Amino acid sequence: MPTDIVMPRLSDSMEEGTILRWIKSQGDEVAVGDELVEIETDKANMVYESDAAGTVIEILAGEGDTLPIGETIARVGEPGETGGDGAAPKAEPKPEKEGEEPQAEPERENQAEEPRAPAATAEAPAVPSAPPGDGRVKASPLARRIARERGLDLSGISGSGPGGRIIKADVEQAAEAPPVEAAAPPAPTPGVRERPETAKGDVETIELTKVQQTIARRMAESKATAPHFYLEAEVDMSRAVEGRGRIKAAAKDGDVVPSFNDMVVKGAALALREFPRANGAYRDGRVEQYSRINVGVAVAAQDALIVPTVFDADAKGLREIAAETRALAQRVREGQITPPELSGGTFTVSNLGMYGITNFSAVINPPQAAILAVGSIVERPVVRDGEITTAHLMPLNLACDHRILYGADGAQLLARIRELLEEPLALAL
């Protein structure tokens, strides 16, 4: 019996996924742990590894299809086994790659290529480009891009790929076909003016990715359900700047030099030890407090904001945190971050100081109790012991959920973070 491959749950908040790319094709051999398909989830694009071994005997979801968790996307079994409809499936061509010509069908690979006939025969009925009633044109990403570049409407193109899917060859054939002479536009009705262009000019509608849709939904829910209040403090980072300078000067090739954000992550984690209520969440009228202190670090990815997790940040040294955050950020930008690395966060740090932002307020990452926003370090004049001098000042803004933390709770937490950053030796203890 074949084994069903279903849409996996790749994150704790995932409800559905979109097939981006099939790595294995119909008829390919696959082993347990082989990369099978790339899926777009609500947090990132992730590669799913097969949990079954055998031959891919049927692919049920095409690239671009969105399916709920648990829906069958493919079947793996022994060669010659039948699919779910009791009929032996036909071999599916490998996905097209840019710059490659579509592969010929096996039974015709030694024959001269003939032009496609516009009319379908009785033995090979024409296949619609999309199942009736779903309103979606099934096409490969490469076919969509070529059609967009050449100004072609995919709804008027018949697909020759598996399941009526439009492939590169279909779009190129449609582009080479002579244009159909358009009917003359009707004469304007006297006294009726054409609709003028809007003051905003041309309007382009951009579809959100699954990640962007999830961010939009969660941030809207956070602001609508979590009563935010904000606390601000300014940290004198002069000793931290001096200490990091010494570390950088003494570093050898290949050594990881902790950033100021790594210091903030460590300082926040140590402060959360002393104020465990802030290391919690609000759920169903109750406050949960967690024993592990896992700090999420916001990373700007392609058109999205991804928050990987530094687990047990309070127990790790600065260099270890630095190495881990760099590796996590790199995997986010390369699209190789894994579901476990995006889960389990109990507190979040968001830093925009590298963009010259002096201060900002962040939205709490639900259901966490708080998020710390960090601005840029600026050398400014200050008064000390009655004399004017300079100091490297860094703004902090703590957003708190008032259902979990009250004003004094948040103020004490923020004050402790400031104390730890102003005396950086404490971060090494």
Domain presence at residue 118:
no
Are 309 and 375 part of one and the same domain?
yes
Of 135-149, 226-240, 249-263, 292-306, the one with minimum mean pLDDT is: 135-149
Domain presence at residue 122:
no
Instruction: Report the alpha-carbon distance of residue 418 to residue 357 in Å, rounded.
Output: 19
Domain presence at residue 82:
yes
At 338, list the tokens.
Answer: 């894994």
Reported as a pLDDT band with limits 50, 70 and 90, residue 169 is: confident
Are 169 and 241 part of one and the same domain?
no
Decide which of 414 and 179 is more confident: 414
Are 171 and 308 part of one and the same domain?
no
Reported as a pLDDT band with limits 50, 70 and 90, residue 162 is: low
Over 60: is that where the pLDDT of 317 sits? yes
Stretch 220-233: mean pLDDT, rounded? 95
Over 90: is that where the pLDDT of 226 sits? yes
Over 70: is that where the pLDDT of 103 sits? no
3-state secondary structure of 287: strand
Q: Give residue-wise pLDDT tens across range 184-225.
A: 555 555 555 555 566 888 888 888 887 788 888 889 999 999
Over 90: is that where the pLDDT of 153 sits? no
Q: Give residue-wise pLDDT tens across range 388-414.
A: 999 999 999 999 999 999 999 999 999
Q: Mean pLDDT in the chain?
A: 82
Decide which of 386 and 64 is more confident: 386
Are 172 and 214 part of one and the same domain?
no
Of 74-88, 291-305, 376-390, 403-417, the one with minimum mean pLDDT is: 74-88
Stretch 155-181: mean pLDDT, rounded? 75
Domain presence at residue 107:
no
Active site residues: 402
Q: Give residue-wise pLDDT tens across range 302-316.
A: 778 899 999 999 999
The residue out of 152, 176, 200 marking a domain boundary is 176
Q: Give the dihedral of Cα atoms 317, 323, 329, 330; nearest 10 deg.
A: -170
Domain presence at residue 311:
yes
The CATH number of whichever domain residue 76 belongs to comes to 2.40.50.100
Are 218 and 85 part of one and the same domain?
no
The CATH number of whichever domain residue 226 belongs to comes to 3.30.559.10
Domain count of the chain? 2
Over 70: is that where the pLDDT of 91 sits? no
Reported as a pLDDT band with limits 50, 70 and 90, residue 100 is: very low
pLDDT value at residue 238? 96
Q: Cα dist. 136→146, 151, 166, 232 in Å?
A: 18, 18, 12, 49
Reported as a pLDDT band with limits 50, 70 and 90, residue 88 is: very low
For the chain, percent of residues with pLDDT exceeding 70: 79
Instruction: Report the alpha-carbon distance of residue 116 to residue 173 in Å, rounded.
Output: 9
Are 222 and 166 part of one and the same domain?
no
Are 241 and 362 part of one and the same domain?
yes
Are 320 and 418 part of one and the same domain?
yes
Can you count the helices (H) and strands (E) in the chain?
A: 7, 19
For the chain, percent of residues with pLDDT exceeding 90: 46
Instruction: Report the alpha-carbon distance of residue 278 to residue 368 in Å, rounded.
Output: 8
Stretch 28-41: mean pLDDT, rounded? 89
What is the residue-wise DSSP string for 65-122? -EEETT-EEEEEESTT---TTSSPPPPPPPPP-TT-PPPPPGGGTTSPP-PPPSSPPS
Reported as a pLDDT band with limits 50, 70 and 90, residue 119 is: very low
Domain presence at residue 126:
no
Are the beta carbons of 72 and 6 closer than 8 angstroms? yes
Reported as a pLDDT band with limits 50, 70 and 90, residue 59 is: very high
Are 410 and 267 part of one and the same domain?
yes
Are 172 and 215 part of one and the same domain?
no
Are 141 and 270 part of one and the same domain?
no
Q: Residue 146: which domain range? A: 3-99+135-176
Are the beta carbons of 271 and 263 closer than 8 angstroms? no
The 10 Å Cβ neighbour count of residue 13 is 14
Instruction: Report the alpha-carbon distance of residue 277 to residue 269 in Å, rounded.
Output: 13
Domain presence at residue 205:
no
Q: Give residue-wise pLDDT tens across range 351-383.
A: 999 999 999 999 999 999 999 999 999 999 999
Compute φ and ψ for 340, nearest 5 degrees.
-60, -30
Domain presence at residue 48:
yes
Are 241 and 146 part of one and the same domain?
no
